Amino acid sequence: MTNAGKAPQATAYWTTGPEHGELRAEDLPAPGPGEALIRTLYSGISKGTEIVVHKGSVPLRVAREMRAPHQEGSFPSPVKFGYLSVGVVEQGPEDWIGQKVFCLNPHQDRYVTPTDQLTRIPDGVPARRAVLTGTVETAVNALWEAGPRLGDRIAVVGSGLVGGMVATLLRSFPLARLELVDLDPARRKLADTLGIDFAHPDDAKPDCDIVFHCSASQHGLERSLQLTGDEGVVIEMSWYANREVTLPLGEDFHARRLSIRSSQVGVVARARRHRRTNADRLDLAVSLLKDPVFDVFLTGVSPFIQLPEVVQHLADGTLEALCHVIEYPPSPGAENSPANTNPEDTR
C-alpha cells in the first residue's frame, strides 16, 4: 500500500472545549499563485487572549469581532486560534523562498497563506524574538491612540506582556515621568531591566496625563482613574471577555472629567488610519524588535508536542509566563537543508 496521491499533512492546535485543547492532523493544500508554504519555527502564546479562548469565555455578542485573522472554527469551540507565528518560506514565489516571516497564524507546524499576509523579518531580529511582533503591534497602536506628548506624566498599570510592551516603547519618549505599576513586587525586576521606575499601586504617583490600563482587573481600572489628572485619559487595553466590571463613576471619573478610551488592535488607531495600513503597522513593529531588551519578555520555551499541556498550565496558574514560546521540530528528511534550520542567534 502506498501514499501516492495522498495530501501532505500538517498538525495544528485546536481548542475543543472549556479548558481542553488538542493537536489535530489536517490536509495541507498546495500553494497557489501568490501563496506560500510556511514551515513554522516558533509560535508565541498570547496568554491573556488565548486563555480567554481556552476557557470558552469569549462573549457571543463580539465573537465575530474577536476572530483572529487566520482562525478556523467558531467560538467557543472547536476553534483553531492564535496569532504569533514565525516561520520560513519553503515554497512560493521565488523572492520569498527561504525568507523568515511573521504571520498572524494559529499554532500549526506548516501552513499555506497568501504572501500579502506575511511580514518579512529583517536582519538583526532573531526568529524567536520575532514572535513578539503581534504584541509590539498592539502597543504601537495604543501609542498612536493616546498620542503622548513632550513632558507628559504617564503610568502603565499592569506589567504583563501588553503593559510591559507599552512601557518598553514609551521609555524612549521625552517624558517627564513614566511608571510601571503592579501589585506583584517581583515585576520590579522587569522594570529595572527596562530602566523604568516601578511602583506598587498604593505608591504610584497621581496627576498623570495618560494612564495605560493593562491589568484586566476591576481594581486596576479603578486605580487608573485615581492616578489620572484632571481631564486626562485612561487608555483601556484590557479585554475582560465575559466578566462584568463595576466602577465608581461618581468619584474621580465624573468629578474630574476623565475619559476612558478603548484601544484594540483589530483596526489601525484613528489618528493614523488614513495614512497607515495594518501591514505598515506590522512592519514597524518587527523593526523595533532589533532591540535585544525585548528578550526579557520571552520567559519559557516548550516543544510543540507539549502545547496542550502548556496552555492548561498557563490557565491554572501552575506555569507563569509573559510570553511562552513554542518550538517546532524540523521537517523530516531535510535536517541538513538551510531552509530547515531555525535561524536563531539568541541562544
Give tens-digit pLDDT for 259-282.
999 999 999 999 999 999 999 999
Q: How far is CA 326 from CA 66, 82, 306, 313, 347, in A?
A: 23, 12, 9, 14, 15
> Is position 346 within any domain?
no
Task: Evaluate whether residue 345 is within a structural domain.
Answer: no
**118 and 180 fall within a common domain:** no
- For residue 182, give the CATH number of its domain: 3.40.50.720
Say how many domains are in the chain: 2
- Count of residues in the chain: 347
Shared-domain flag, residues 14 and 121: yes
Whole-model pTM? 0.92
Helix/strand/coil (H, E, C) string of 223-255?
A: HHHHHEEEEEEEEECCCCCCCCCCCCCCCHHHH
Burial degree of 26 (CB within 10 A; 0-12, 13-18, 19+):
middle
Assess whether 151 and 86 both reside in one domain. Answer: no
DSSP for 160-216, written as a single string? SHHHHHHHHHHTTS--SEEEEE-S-GGGHHHHHHHT-EEE-GGG----EEEEEE-S-
Answer whether residue 167 is part of any domain: yes
Domain range enclosing 33: 9-125+290-340
Residue 326 within any structural domain of the chain: yes
Task: Give residue-wise pLDDT tens across range 125-151.
Answer: 999 999 999 999 999 999 999 999 999
Interval 158-214: pLDDT, tens = 999 999 999 999 999 999 999 999 999 999 999 999 999 999 999 999 999 999 999
- Please tell me which residue, 340 or 252, carries the higher pLDDT value: 252
The strand pair at 228-236 and 259-262 is best described as parallel
345 grid coordinates: 542567534
What are 86's three cell numbers? 514565525
CA distance 201 to 311: 29
Asked if 188 and 303 sit in the same domain, the reply is: no
Do 25 and 102 have their domain in common? yes
Task: Tell me the CATH number at 300.
Answer: 3.90.180.10
299, part of any domain: yes
> For position 331, what pLDDT does the model report?
73
Question: Confidence class of residue 3 from pLDDT cuts 50, 70 and 90?
Answer: low
**Measured torsion, CA atoms of residues 57, 59, 64, 68, in degrees rounded to the nearest 10:** -30
Is 254 part of any domain? Answer: yes
